């Protein structure tokens, strides 16, 4: 009996050879094909199965710790100044180097695919392999999440081959910084915890700077926003004078992405009738599922965008100290220090206090939205859409099933 390789194909993550066997020992020659499984085309090296990866840089963690202890704006500036000399933009997330090896001659890896499910359905991240290297730089994934990854490539005859699938996890760290090449101060609005332990959902609203005026997102940056983040709408908070200076006169993204222009004023100026009207429009744009995921920006994603996100996350129940920390984290970008000690920010807090004296920040921000014309039903829908579902405890599950409790 002898055999020869007939064709190559892939079944269940193995490179397969279809082998024709000729069995001359039988009275009549019988030709029969069987499948023989060879070695994996790629061996996944890092991250390993169930490995935990970080995405914050040491500087981001250190600065966040500084803010948590309530240090003054002077102390923030002292911390930031020497670091900006070597890295002007500290808002970029850390990239992890995903690595693999090759087991089969003639295969070429094009990059990695990353999904939140092992079937790779729905939104899948794609990161290209570094030139002539068996590795890819991976960044901007959701925090506190479980992901699945695989290497994708082709064989000598340009047929697709994939590695096996491995699982990894991301560290619980907020915010989720996002790298849009050419743009500073981009991050996810979600990830923050509210009082009952739930989190604001990630992947719905991204905040950052504008992308085609004083900053220029690269072609890769724009592709990442549309194809990897899946952004469907752009919420532009700039005024008409700024738009006139923008070469795109509006959206830097493709025509398939909806563009909304709702000019607003930051801090206590959100109290004017004109600003309230446009903040309410922005609220309702974010409330429409067809618009999500959404990217919102002003000039640098700091003041007007910061005020909008403060009011939205406040109404969702993010604690005041976390709202302040999120606002001050903009200091890591290239737009200068943002501090709760400034008169502008104090003005916002004083205005909100006047709406619901002595109440929680959630009550104050809800009072603001109601003064802008947002209804109780719309506020409830915001909670339903933007907060993760509360996971039931083992005791709750047993009780619901009528089982005895310990």
- Residue 162 belongs to domain with CATH number: 2.60.40
What pLDDT is recorded for position 308?
98
Do 126 and 245 belong to one domain? no
Which strands make up the sheet holding 258-261, listed edge to edge?
A: 187-188, 205-208, 294-297, 233-236, 258-261
Do 366 and 244 belong to one domain? yes
Q: Which of 122-126, 137-141, 230-234 bottoms out in mean pLDDT, i.e. has the lowest?
A: 122-126
> pLDDT grade, residue 11 (50/70/90)?
very low
Q: Which of 170, 189, 218 corresponds to the end of one domain?
A: 170
Q: Which of 20-24, 36-40, 77-81, 336-340 bottoms out in mean pLDDT, i.e. has the lowest?
A: 20-24
| Total of domains in the chain | 3
Asked, for residue 176, whether it belongs to a domain, the answer is no
Report DSSP letters for 156-213, one per residue: TTS-EEE---EEEEE---SS-B---TT--S-EES---B-TTS-BBPSSSEEEE--SBS
Asked, for residue 88, whether it belongs to a domain, the answer is no
Do 144 and 188 belong to one domain? no
Do 22 and 118 belong to one domain? no
Do 310 and 372 belong to one domain? yes
Say whether 404 sits in a helix, a strand or coil. Answer: coil
What pLDDT is recorded for position 399?
47
Report DSSP state, residue 216.
B
Do 365 and 245 belong to one domain? yes
Do 165 and 185 belong to one domain? no
E strands of 182-291, at which residues?
A: 187-188, 205-208, 233-236, 258-261
What pLDDT is recorded for position 263?
96
Q: Which of 111, 135, 170 corresponds to the end of one domain?
A: 170
What pLDDT is recorded for position 15?
41
CB atoms under 10 Å from CB of 339, counted, come to 21
Do 105 and 23 belong to one domain? no
Residue 132 is inside which H or E element, if any?
none
Asked, for residue 61, whether it belongs to a domain, the answer is no
What pLDDT is recorded for position 94?
97
Report DSSP letters for 94-132, one per residue: PPEEEEEEE-STT-EEEEEEEESSTT--SSEEEEEBPTT
Do 205 and 313 belong to one domain? yes
Between 177 and 404, name the one with better pLDDT: 177
Mean of per-residue pLDDT scores for the chain: 87
Asked, for residue 381, whether it belongs to a domain, the answer is yes
CATH of residue 380: 3.90.190.10
Asked, for residue 80, whether it belongs to a domain, the answer is no
Q: pLDDT tens-digit profile of 352-395?
A: 999 999 999 999 999 999 999 999 999 999 999 999 987 644 33
What pLDDT is recorded for position 59?
95
Asked, for residue 339, whether it belongs to a domain, the answer is yes
Range of the domain at 11: 2-38
Among residues 265, 294, 292, 291, the alpha carbon closest in space to that of 277 is found at 265
> pLDDT grade, residue 402 (50/70/90)?
low
Q: How far apart are CA 234 and CA 14, in angstroms?
A: 42
Q: pLDDT tens-digit profile of 171-215?
A: 999 999 999 999 999 999 999 999 999 999 999 999 999 998 888
Check pLDDT > 90 for residue 312. yes
Do 143 and 208 belong to one domain? no
Q: Which of 170, 195, 213 corresponds to the end of one domain?
A: 170
Q: What is the 3-state secondary structure (H, E, C) of 224-249?
A: HHHHHCCCCEEEECCCHHHHHCCCCC
Task: Extract the tokens encoding 134.
Answer: 């068996």
Asked, for residue 78, whether it belongs to a domain, the answer is no
Q: How far apart are CA 289 and CA 267, in angstroms?
A: 27
Check pLDDT > 60 for residue 397. no
Asked, for residue 127, whether it belongs to a domain, the answer is yes
Check pLDDT > 50 for residue 91. yes
Do 166 and 187 belong to one domain? no
Check pLDDT > 60 for residue 23. no
Q: Which of 15-19, 204-208, 315-319 bottoms out in mean pLDDT, i.e. has the lowest?
A: 15-19
- By the 10 Å C-beta count (0-12 exposed, 13-18 middle, 19+ buried), 289 is classed as exposed
> pLDDT grade, residue 289 (50/70/90)?
very high
Do 136 and 195 belong to one domain? no
Q: pLDDT tens-digit profile of 35-77?
A: 333 568 999 999 999 999 999 999 999 999 999 888 788 888 9
Q: Which of 23-27, 86-90, 275-279, 304-308 bottoms out in mean pLDDT, i.e. has the lowest?
A: 23-27
**Are the C-beta atoms of 153 and 108 separated by less than 8 Å?**
yes
């Amino acid at each position: 009996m002898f055999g020869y390789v007939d064709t190559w194909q892939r079944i269940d993550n193995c490179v397969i050879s279809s082998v024709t066997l000729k069995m001359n020992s039988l009275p009549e020659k019988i030709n029969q094909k069987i499948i023989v499984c060879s070695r994996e085309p790629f061996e996944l090296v890092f991250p390993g199965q169930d490995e935990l990866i970080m995405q914050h840089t040491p500087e981001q963690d250190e600065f966040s710790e500084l803010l948590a202890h309530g240090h003054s704006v002077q102390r923030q500036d002292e911390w930031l100044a020497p670091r900006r000399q070597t890295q002007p933009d500290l808002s970029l997330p850390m990239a992890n180097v995903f690595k693999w090896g090759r087991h089969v001659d003639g295969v070429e890896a094009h990059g990695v695919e990353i999904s939140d499910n092992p079937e790779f359905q729905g939104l899948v991240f794609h990161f290209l392999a570094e030139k002539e290297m068996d590795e890819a730089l991976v960044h901007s994934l959701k925090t506190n999440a479980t992901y699945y990854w695989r290497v994708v490539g082709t064989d000598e005859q340009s047929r697709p081959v994939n590695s096996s699938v491995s699982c990894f996890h991301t560290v619980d760290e907020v915010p989720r910084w996002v790298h849009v090449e050419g743009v500073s101060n981009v991050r996810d609005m979600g990830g923050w915890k509210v009082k009952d332990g739930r989190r604001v959902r990630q992947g719905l609203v991204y905040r950052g700077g504008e992308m085609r005026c004083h900053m220029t997102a690269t072609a890769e940056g724009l592709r990442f926003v549309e194809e990897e983040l899946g952004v469907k709408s752009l919420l532009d908070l700039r005024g008409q004078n700024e738009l006139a200076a923008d070469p795109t006169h509006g959206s830097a993204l493709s025509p398939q992405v909806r563009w909304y222009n709702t000019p607003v004023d930051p801090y206590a100026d959100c109290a004017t009738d004109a600003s309230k009207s446009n903040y309410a429009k922005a609220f309702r744009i974010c409330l429409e599922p067809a618009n999500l995921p959404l990217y919102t920006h002003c000039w640098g994603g700091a003041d007007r965008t910061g005020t909008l996100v403060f009011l939205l996350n406040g109404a969702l129940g993010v604690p005041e100290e976390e709202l302040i920390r999120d606002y001050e984290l903009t200091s890591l970008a290239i737009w200068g220090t943002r501090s709760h000690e400034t008169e502008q920010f104090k003005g916002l807090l004083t205005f909100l206090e006047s709406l619901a004296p002595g109440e929680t920040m959630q009550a104050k921000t809800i009072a603001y939205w109601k003064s802008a014309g947002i209804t109780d039903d719309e506020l409830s829908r915001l909670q339903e859409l933007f907060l993760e579902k509360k996971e039931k405890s083992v005791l709750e599950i047993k009780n619901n099933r009528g089982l005895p409790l310990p």
